[in-house]
Chain A
Amino acid sequence: MSVQDWLNERLRYEAAQAVLEKKTVPVHRYAVTYYTGGITLFFFVVQVLTGLLLLMYYRPTSDAAFESVRLIISKVRFGWLVRNIHVWSANAMVGAAVLHLAATFFGRAYRKPRELTWISGVLLLGITLAFAFTGYLLPWNTLAYFATKVGTEIAGDVPIIGRGLMVLLRGGEDITEATLSRFFGIHVAILPALATVLLGVHLVLVQIHGMSHPISVRVTGEERFFPEFMLRDFIVWVVLLGGLAVVATLWPWPLGEKADPLAPAPSGLRPEWYFLFMFQTLRILPAHIAGLEGEVVGVTLFALAGLVLLLVPFLDRWAQRERSHPLVSALGAAAFAFALLMTALALVKGM
């Protein structure tokens, strides 16, 4: 008996291979958007691998966190590269996830029977942002300290559960070592566990239902997923890995100053680019709106927007009947335009 037969008897991989060989990808003029999911997955894998390496040296206490990251980037062999790739890839992963969201939204890929694929995807985007938010504090520098202070304070403005949520996140009233160890636990254990389960569900659903194609687009043919599409996926990943290495080498991510709870907030303080639109919106809202505090109104509206995004497959009745209504596209475009405008305003004001 050959090794191949021995393995096949136990793993039944030929059955999986048969499924893979039958899987096809539609060909049309927007087919390039099919790469966005794979790209997001690629950055996630990079995050897991570089995160594991960082974990060997990182120490989650207020006395040692900053120093341990400094050690990683200055003394540990290739530590600077691993840390820079981790930070750049985190940013790229958020970008890829947002692109993937836009592609699936405007292509109405959430329509029956892929509603649960959409919901698991939106939850994965939420987890990605939670990864970014919790990871940002870990170097324990001044920017991270105040960004976390503001971010958790915003969580405190969520109606009803806000106060409890803020104390739960911080591990108390203030940002302290309890917050750091909590964020560390969430970042390296809770979120990876949630992400693995949800990612598994998301990928299984994609396999069950296959690739969706936009309603009004003419499909000109089909190509095999294995090996044609998969090989091109790999080529994209190799190019991205090269790009990450170049960017991480040429533009190292600064570590900044160690957090000092008694220092005033530094000027020019602003969150990472993916939270800028919320930051700018909260900045321009008046102190009071209809008798309520402006920030409470803003946070409530953002929470509602998140809920609407999650429930899009059930709200878009036209897509359920295989119709692509311009109103849905217009609302989506308006939401993206608003986020872009607020981000641009924050960037201009911050300069």
Chain B
Amino acid sequence: MAAKAGELPPNSGKIFAFEGKPAIVLRTPEGEVRAFTAVCTHLACTVQYRADLQHIWCACHDGHYDLHGQVLSGPPPRPLVEYKVTLKGEDVIVSRA
């Protein structure tokens, strides 16, 4: 389980441990819940959700990813790997896609 649904209001994200590595689960401004690896594909920093930009951002080298994990700008060479999200009542469950 990655989070409780109540922890994820629209336009927010949360970092959690997935198979021992940081992963991010987020709720888009439209209300959809998605999860990705939180390990930046550039130099492996942990990314975060930027509510002001409404997308994923890596602070280390200013890498930007959209809400599908695709690179918007900056040095990341590859998109973030997306995980499968299942909502079971209050629980947000993340597994490999």
Contacts and interface: CB of A to CB of B under 8 A. Distances in A.
Contacts of B76: 287
Name the residue in B21, B44, B45, B77 with the highest tally of chain A Cβ atoms < 10 Å from its Cβ.
B44
A268 interface: yes
B47 A287 contact: no
Chain B residues touching A, range = 20 to 34
B59 A287 contact: no
A127 to B, nearest CB: 24
Contact of A149 (B15, B20, B43, B61): B43
A265 B75 contact: no
Contacts of B80: none
Interface stretch (A97-105, A109-117, A210-218, A288-296): A288-296
Contacts of A262: 15-17, 22, 46
A264 B77 contact: no
B61 to A, nearest CB: 5
Name the residue in A146, A149, A264, A285 with the highest tally of chain B Cβ atoms < 10 Å from its Cβ.
A264
A283 to B, nearest CB: 5
Interface string B30-60: 0000000010101111111000000000111
A266 interface: yes
A67 interface: no
A267 interface: yes
Contacts of B25: none
B92 interface: no
A299 to B, nearest CB: 10
A153 B61 CA distance: 13
B94 to A, nearest CB: 14
Contact of A295 (B21, B22, B43, B47): B43
Contacts of A265: 40, 45-48, 58-60
A209 B14 CA distance: 63
Interface in A26-71: none
B41 to A, nearest CB: 9
Contacts of A285: 75
A263 B46 contact: yes
Nearest to B61: A283
Name the residue in B21, B58, B60 with the highest tally of chain A Cβ atoms < 10 Å from its Cβ.
B60
A269 B58 CA distance: 10
Interface string A66-103: 00000000000000000000000000000000000000
A288 B78 CA distance: 10
Contact of B59 (A268, A282, A288): A268
30 contacts: A149-B43, A150-B44, A150-B45, A174-B20, A174-B21, A262-B15, A262-B17, A262-B22, A263-B15, A264-B15, A264-B38, A264-B46, A265-B40, A265-B48, A265-B58, A268-B59, A269-B45, A269-B60, A279-B61, A282-B61, A282-B75, A286-B75, A287-B71, A287-B75, A288-B77, A293-B77, A294-B75, A294-B77, A295-B75, A295-B77
